[in-house]
Structure 1
């Protein structure tokens, strides 16, 4: 099976205008939810910001976190000081194909938003895992008969939810799936891996304000 709507995820799709508009809109939404509808406290935020903006050239970044709600991403990036609305610095994220890519409209939306569809249970060598590896490998967008240069690898950031599903239990992270480990091992350049733990996102947008905690 080929890669779903890969053309919409290219940096030069319609000169990058749809991506910039979408990232700005979603980023603004994340800022409002994280800072105005809720109260968010972030520990070691400088670590994430520095790695996203100025890590060593040629070194990719993988961030991993627990998964408490469907709003974890993008709201977890909406804290004050983070460049949430910068399309070039925005993360790539692995997204469940059966939820985020149900039809053409959703597929286009999430593809433009730098999401890579993953088939849960499809194994670590499924086609879209190879696409995620490419985002970490050389900064190029590659597919059959097409090779288009993207951003430099040091600008690439991939976020994963290695538990593989939403879990709202107030307990340690469960056994992790193999996909994230396979990306780390298979990447030609060993990526920086940043673990993130957050709490409170299962009650986001609740009233009175929820206090969300993010630890980096």
Structure 2
């Protein structure tokens, strides 16, 4: 197995953070996840792995993956790909080289979901590789583990991959103790003695799940995904109900719409962005959305709501396993419906 020096160095730093620098690191579900990652049949079928997690500090990545076995860092298909803000990470030639080597995809914040970064992430999933997202889109400083709304990019990855990726939520706690915000000097050094939790959930794309049912419906709508729906429709009719039973999730209250101010989308002309080529995947997907804009928006909103609830439920389970009070873990901060009611 070839040695990947830079990735191994980053992996070693992540392992130092989780195993030495912290006072404890409780990892749950790792063996099940590594089995999924190493599954050769999944790769032959062209099914990638899509993971997503809550985002509580600037050290979540690579810190979260310090619990992974060494062998995962030595292969591109078992090392996560992730999206990184171009205006923060890709600011000079050295950083460009390092983050590209570290399997980070440069993403233009504010450019929307129809951009080359999302095209590349979809391509990685179709190659059977592993893509990780923080779908809140930024570091959430809430001290009550309140999840903000998810960005729509994750919906596009699920709707436009030719083969459905395996979807695994990851709940993390404690990294906000390692890199609190605000923090005093030296602000660039992680704080020691944090108590970390990394909880890999079960795949949520199983047959008969809420995500599986919703994808069956949405992928049969030609206005949302220009490829492969006829085959999807045939597969839906051939499915059998799942025998998998799960504990009933608690009711998660949804408060009134968020009071966070909306951020205007930057003008592409001002930012120097070029429109996607007319024959590109991004241009085709964008045109599909324009053809049926309201339906596409509602579909993406409903889909990320399901994903967010699954992550919230994983957070509830994680605290229950430790015998702690649930508090406001997983509480949602906005509704998808203007009047604040739940759908």
Under a length normalisation based on structure 2, what TM-score does the superposition of the two structures give? 0.51
Indicate the residue corresponding to 1:100 in structure 2.
89
Runs of 4+ in 1 over 6 A off after TM superposition: none
1:197 and 1:215 in contact (8 A); partners too: yes
Indicate the residue corresponding to 2:108 in structure 1.
119
Indicate the residue corresponding to 1:67 in structure 2.
55
SS at match of 1:98: coil
Structure 1 unaligned runs (5+)?
A: 1-15, 140-152
**Matching of residue 195 in structure 1 with residue 148 in structure 2:** no
Indicate the residue corresponding to 1:110 in structure 2.
99
Choose between structure 1 and 2: higher strand proportion: 1
CA positional deviation for 1:113: 0.7
Count of residue pairs the alignment pairs up? 182
1:125-182 Cα shifts (integer Å, max 9, x gaps): 1122111111112x2xxxxxxxxxxxxx2xx100001000011312232110000111
Choose between structure 1 and 2: higher helix proportion: 2
SS at match of 2:65: coil
Indicate the residue corresponding to 1:33 in structure 2.
17
Matches within 5 A, 1:135-214: 135-137=124-126, 139=127, 153=128, 156-169=129-142, 170-204=144-178, 205-207=190-192, 209-214=193-198
Q: Distance in 2 between matches of 1:48 and 1:83?
A: 14
Which one scores higher on RCO, CA 8 angstroms, separation ≥ 6?
1
Q: Distance in 1 between matches of 2:64 and 2:114?
A: 29
Q: Distance in 2 between matches of 1:157 and 1:123?
A: 22
Q: Distance in 1 between matches of 2:59 and 2:72?
A: 14
Larger radius of gyration: 2
Indicate the residue corresponding to 2:30 in structure 1.
45
Q: Distance in 1 between matches of 2:164 and 2:73?
A: 27
Structure 2 unaligned runs (5+)?
A: 179-189, 201-343
Q: Distance in 1 between matches of 2:162 and 2:68?
A: 34
Indicate the residue corresponding to 2:74 in structure 1.
86
1:65 and 1:161 in contact (8 A); partners too: yes
Q: Distance in 2 between matches of 1:43 and 1:83?
A: 19
Give RMSD over aligned pairs: 1.8
